[in-house]
Amino acid sequence: MPTGSVRAGFFRAGFFRAGSAFVAWLVLTASALAQTPEERCLLDALRQAAPRTTVEELRARCVESPAAGPARVAPVPESLPPPSEAGGPVVGSTVGVVRDTPQGLSVAPVSRSKPVGDSPVRRRIEEEGVLWGERFALLPHRPNYLLPFSHSLDTPGTAGAAPVQRNEVKFQISFKFPLTPPLYDGRLAVFFGYTGQSWWQAYNSERSSPFREYSHEPEVFASWAPAMQLLGWDWRVASAGFVHQSNGRSGEFSRSWNRLFAEMLLDRPGPWWIGLRPWWRIPESAKSSPDSPKGDDNPDITRYAGHGELRFGYAGALQNWTLTMRHSLSAGGKGAVQLDYSRPTGFSPNLRWHIQYFDGYGENLLDYQTRIRRIGLGVMLNDWY
């Protein structure tokens, strides 16, 4: 366990293989549209399953008939023992997965007074744990989305003499995978993550539809499950690591910076969650001349991109809202606000409509000094939670 069908279901839910941006989007979208009622039933049964539940038992609980309509999940038998009696401690296990399956990062001890999967961050960690032991399995990191209709109310500041359209295609690809097995009873793990953002002038035939900007953001970080409460919120994950961000260009358009960051994720029973991510920029030496390949390409980027990020999220039964705010602590510092909204498309439970609004500085590295107001419409393969 999990079987091939269950693995396929989770891949369609946003776990994907790295590759070409457009091939990845096409494959994932086609897979999401092909999910069957039986596979959806198995996913639901997996989330609700007690420890030591076998694949045969899960299949037996999924009932599908032409007269009854879509597959449904039968109730969990009352004879199954609670996790504490099934063998082994709850800490360090992924709820709903048999003990012999490789486990993911712990979500803290199970509360007997709260149902399993009762909060957004916890539910995400439980789902990730299913593929934890798979070699080369990629887990979703940040949202993966495609905005084919993205309009900027402001002209990019580094457009130069070449004509740049305000209508673009914007997309983001983000994944992570564990570098270590779960450590310290499943409470600690080290990850590699990658996020790529692209601004594509797809409708600009005068310039042969170039990619105006692409941002690479690899990171290495350790995550810990504190298993404690903070001001009435459950502190699910604490992380710390190193992140590099660059646009891969040279000369006057070269942009890059390195940071050390910390992050904490909190939620509570219900749909609300909070993410706080402060960072510190690693200093670089000044350039000897503007054309020098060595030295700091953007010495004032912290003033515009900020010293940290705060996210407030609502992960409801249908609608998801995420408010992201950044601000600089420097004198005369700038910042930005981004609001994301998503809901199911109706074509597949794993494909969501996505609306994004951005207002502020540092949307991308190329134009970090220019205030950009942008609204986009498209689809999302996975939300934050």
Catalytic positions, written as ranges: 244, 246
Inter-residue contact 130 to 102 (CB < 8 Å): no
Alpha-helix residue ranges (DSSP H) falling in 150-218: none
Amino acid code (one letter) for 326:
R
- CA 363 – CA 384 distance, rounded (Å): 18
**Cα angle at 42 between 351 and 265, to 5 degrees?**
60
- CA 300 – CA 127 distance, rounded (Å): 40
- CA 59 – CA 44 distance, rounded (Å): 11
Closest among 164, 139, 168 to 151, alpha carbons compared? 168
**CA-CA-CA-CA torsion sign (116, 119, 120, 121):** negative
**DSSP three-state, residue 162:** coil
The answer to whether the peptide bond before residue 77 is cis (omega within 30 degrees of 0) is no
- CA 151 – CA 264 distance, rounded (Å): 33
Segment (H or E) for 188: strand 188-200
Scan for tokens 């070449």, then name that residue: 162
The tokens of 60 are what? 């037996």
- CA 259 – CA 219 distance, rounded (Å): 9
